[in-house]
């Protein structure tokens, strides 16, 4: 596994919270913690911007992907509507988590709650090569279910 050094700053309202950390040896993502001053209750269908109390400085050539937590999605219907969110290498503001309650019951975000996960990944830049035609493939332009719904045996 490769590691990269990333500068992180605790903001005043997140000073007592733990920094993002890998919870298991082979975790790809680090949990992000809610740095709310008071509980935030989201009614079904409601959205909220949840502060994390941290800002980071990624090195050039990297991004941080913000992803939902599967347990919150399964048990409560909590999703991140812009998932995965992207933190660019030149962004220096607080990381905020846009959450939506797709469940049928109100959901409360409390201080210290793990609300999302962050995966730091390298970025590949594209050098476009405009052409008049693309090479053929077996699939061609087929999409939107063109391979069928059921696996045939």
* CATH (domain of 13): 2.70.40.10
- Who's near 58: CB < 8 A, 6+ residues apart? 6, 64, 87, 88, 89, 91, 120
Mean pLDDT of the residues in the chain: 95
Q: What is the pTM of this model?
A: 0.88
Residue 140 binned pLDDT confidence (cut-offs 50, 70, 90): confident
Domain extent, residue 13, equals: 7-122
Asked if residue 22 is part of any domain, the answer here is yes
Asked if residue 130 is part of any domain, the answer here is no
Interval 60-117: pLDDT, tens: 999 999 999 999 999 999 999 999 999 999 999 999 999 999 999 999 999 999 999 9
Could you give the CA distance from residue 59 to residue 7 in angstroms, rounded to a whole number? 9
Asked if residue 1 is part of any domain, the answer here is no
The domain total for the chain is 1
């Amino acid at each position: 596994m490769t590691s990269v050094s990333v500068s992180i700053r605790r903001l005043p309202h997140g000073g007592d919270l733990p920094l993002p950390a890998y919870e298991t040896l082979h975790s790809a993502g680090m949990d992000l913690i809610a740095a709310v001053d008071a509980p935030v209750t989201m009614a079904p269908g409601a959205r909220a911007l949840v502060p994390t109390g941290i800002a980071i400085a990624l090195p050039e050539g990297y991004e941080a992907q913000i992803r939902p937590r599967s347990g919150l999605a399964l048990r409560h219907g909590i999703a991140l509507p812009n998932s995965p969110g992207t933190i660019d290498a030149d962004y220096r503001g607080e990381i905020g988590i846009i959450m939506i309650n797709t469940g049928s019951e109100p959901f409360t975000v409390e201080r210290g709650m793990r609300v999302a996960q962050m995966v730091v990944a390298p970025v590949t830049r594209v050098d476009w090569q405009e052409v008049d035609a693309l090479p053929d493939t077996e699939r061609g332009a087929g999409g939107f279910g063109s391979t069928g719904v059921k696996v045939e045996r």
